[in-house]
Each structure stands twice: as structure tokens, then as C-alpha cells.
Amino acid sequence: MEQNTGGFTLDTLMRKKVEKRRREVKDARIHRRLSALLWLNKGYSAEEVADLLDVCPRTIHNWIALYREQGLDTLCSLEYQGDPG
């Protein structure tokens, strides 16, 4: 099942904020999430990003949804439990 990332883009200010946070973050899991946003912004598909990060495309789509719905701080939080269903 291929999903569209909805033409994922970051405005210039947000891209710089994500880049800065990625440089400063110590946790590799958060670094991967931020890298995913930046690669998607460059035009990579969710499937390509998933392949680069060795995760399933659904994970990328979940990260995109989390970012869009709850913002960058939540994406960078490892306490997020996901949708209870």
C-alpha cells in the first residue's frame, strides 16, 4: 500500500530549525526522525527515506502525521505512545 506524503515541505525557517535540532540532538532515534523530515523536504519519497533509514514506510508516514498533527517537539519526544486505536 503506497501512501502519498502529501507533497511534504518545510518552510525555510522550519527547515533551519530542524537542521539545527538535528545537529544538536544526542539520541540517534530522534536524529533519524529529523533526517527523514529533511529528506522528504528534498523530494525523496517516503519509501526511499524508509529504505535509507532501514524502517518500514509506515513508520515514515507515522512520523509525518505526528509532525503535522502535534509539531516538532512531539516528534522529538520519545514518550509519544501513538494512537490507541
Task: For the beta carbon of residue 47, count every other beta carbon within 10 angstroms.
Answer: 14
Q: What contacts 84, CB < 8 A, 6 or more positions away?
A: none
Segment-wise mean pLDDT, segments of 10 residues, the chain, 85 residues: 66 97 96 98 96 97 96 89 63
User: How much is the pLDDT for 78?
Assistant: 87
Q: Which residue type is seen at 23?
A: R
User: What are the boundaries of each domain within the chain?
Assistant: 12-75
Q: Is the entire prediction scored with pTM above 0.95?
A: no
> What's the rounded Cα separation, in Å, for the pair 15 and 81?
25
